[in-house]
Chains A and B, each alone.
Chain A
Amino acid sequence: NAGVMQNPRHLVRRRGQEARLRCSPMKGHSHVYWYRQLPEEGLKFMVYLQKENIIDESGMPKERFSAEFPKEGPSILRIQQVVRGDSAAYFCASSPSVRTGHTEAFFGQGTRLTVV
């Protein structure tokens, strides 16, 4: 799972600023999932993307959060006007595009966002 690259590993933002989190999936993977882990909680699904498409955003907050996965480049999770409640670890996972059976998602090491 070291192949899923997230950056930055740590991000500090003041309230009201924007946070951009990047995720480069493993080579050959075109499915990306974003999860959020609040302190002392499990991971919560946020959004599922394929190249240039949002497939499922049922876990995304309605405001201030957006995600994209362009044809070229990493997937971006963008949080506008951050608040202290956004402080969390954000994990990206990727999976292959060829479906010969149920596969597994490979997780990155996460971005730890702290809002001060």
Chain B
Amino acid sequence: AQSVTQLGSHVSVSEGALVLLRCNYSSSVPPYLFWYVQYPNQGLQLLLKYTTGATLVKGINGFEAEFKKSETSFHLTKPSAHMSDAAEYFCAVSDDFGNEKLTFGTGTRLTIIP
């Protein structure tokens, strides 16, 4: 069985500061890892994903994440926060090549302080 743990249900950072959202996973097979963003009353938008290859993955809106197998982590970062980054962020894992059944973390709400 796979699971995802997101540390910190609420994170606040100042505009221009580093954003770090933490995600740890457990999976019995090499995982596929995802970060999604959800704006209020909206659906989920894919920020980035790791499947194979380079462990540092770059996504949209200046976000990136690094897959660290030894730490079973896939933390999301952005060097400089912008007000428009305020949203809910979900880490997800899939262990089945060929379908997109995802196991999600409980989410981290990011607040940007002006």
Q: Which residues of A are in contact with B by a Cβ distance under 8 Å?
A: 1, 4, 31, 33, 35, 41-45, 48, 55-56, 91, 93, 95, 99, 101-110, 112
Q: Is the CB of B43 within 8 A of A102?
A: no
What residues of chain B lie closer than 8 Å to A101, measured between beta carbons?
Answer: 51
Q: Roughly how many angstroms separate A99 CA and B42 CA in the complex, as a whole number?
A: 28
B102 in the interface (beta carbon within 8 A) = yes
Q: Which residues of B are in contact with A by a Cβ distance under 8 Å?
A: 4, 32, 34, 36, 41-46, 49, 51, 90, 94, 97-107
Q: Roughly how many angstroms separate A4 CA and B51 CA in the complex, as a whole number?
A: 23
What residues of chain B lie closer than 8 Å to A112, measured between beta carbons?
Answer: 41
Residue of B nearest to A55 (CB): B99
Q: Roughly how many angstroms separate A40 CA and B105 CA in the complex, as a whole number?
A: 11
Q: Return A22 CB to nearest CB of chain B, in Å.
A: 15
Which A-B residue pairs are the 3 nearest by beta carbons? A105-B100, A42-B104, A109-B43
Q: Roughly how many angstroms separate A3 CA and B54 CA in the complex, as a whole number?
A: 30
Partner of B90, one of A1, A43, A99, A103: A43
Q: Is the CB of B45 within 8 A of A31?
A: no
Q: Roughly how many angstroms separate A107 CA and B47 CA in the complex, as a whole number?
A: 13
Q: Roughly how many angstroms separate A104 CA and B99 CA in the complex, as a whole number?
A: 9
Q: Roughly how many angstroms separate A106 CA and B42 CA in the complex, as a whole number?
A: 13
Partner of A42, one of B34, B49, B105: B105
Q: Roughly how many angstroms separate A108 CA and B42 CA in the complex, as a whole number?
A: 8
Report 17 cross-chain contacts, Cβ distance below 8 Å, ordered by A residue: A1-B45, A4-B43, A33-B100, A42-B106, A45-B102, A48-B99, A48-B101, A56-B99, A56-B101, A91-B44, A93-B44, A93-B100, A99-B98, A102-B32, A102-B94, A107-B45, A110-B42
